[in-house]
Chains A and B, each alone.
Chain A
Amino acid sequence: GENVEQHPSTLSVQEGDSAVIKCTYSDSASNYFPWYKQELGKGPQLIIDIRSNVGEKKDQRIAVTLNKTAKHFSLHITETQPEDSAVYFCAARSDKLIFGTGTRLQVFP
């Protein structure tokens, strides 16, 4: 069936460093790739998304890249801050949205 793999499951970085989270999807018909940030005890919030006709998208310190040939997409956070600490989920959508298993990011001051 459709599947989205996400790595790593946990990621610890020093404040100011960059963080990269990678996802791979199986359904070649997927054409929409959102990223969500979930803080403890809250629902996920959309932070950035990319459509299949675009290879890269940037919003301040956050960027997402998409390689449709390899079926990979990645989230890049630069100049990390302690408030970036959360669980991040990737997702891929063709007829329905399939989520990755999440990455717990910890940013240490």
Chain B
Amino acid sequence: DGGITQSPKYLFRKEGQNVTLSCEQNLNHDAMYWYRQDPGQGLRLIYYSQIVNDFQKGDIAEGYSVSREKKESFPLTVTSAQKNPTAFYLCASRLTGGHYGYTFGSGTRLTVV
């Protein structure tokens, strides 16, 4: 079955450390997205990529970095520069070229200890 997989489901990080969240899809979707979800604030866009080897900053990109070396993969690195990294992170993908809905992964809950 096709889908989008995020790993790990739970992640703990010490302050000052970088951590990378994985997102893989086998849906042959062109575009991929990273969102951050905090209680009462909905989903906020961190980074997105419409095509391999290209990506753009979203609304809250500071302290994060991404890469898109393969169509299937869009890893997100939370750097030590991110002031408040504890959150639920969601990856999504979609076909481009029309009005297609996003398919979301099941999320990664990151906690800084």
Residues of A that sit less than 8 Å from B by CB = 6, 9, 31-32, 34, 36, 41-46, 49, 51, 89, 93, 96-97, 99-102
Contacts and interface: CB of A to CB of B under 8 A. Distances in A.
B80 interface: no
A96 B104 contact: no
26 contacts: A6-B42, A9-B40, A31-B99, A32-B99, A36-B104, A41-B106, A41-B107, A43-B6, A43-B92, A43-B104, A43-B106, A45-B104, A46-B101, A46-B102, A49-B99, A89-B42, A89-B43, A93-B99, A96-B45, A96-B48, A96-B58, A97-B45, A97-B102, A99-B35, A101-B41, A102-B40
Contact of A100 (B42, B90, B92, B107): B42
B35 to A, nearest CB: 8
Contacts, number: 47
A13 B5 CA distance: 34
Given A36-B104, A89-B43, A99-B42, 19 more contacts: A6-B42, A9-B40, A31-B99, A41-B107, A43-B92, A43-B106, A43-B107, A45-B104, A46-B101, A46-B103, A49-B99, A49-B101, A51-B99, A93-B99, A97-B33, A97-B102, A101-B40, A101-B42, A102-B42
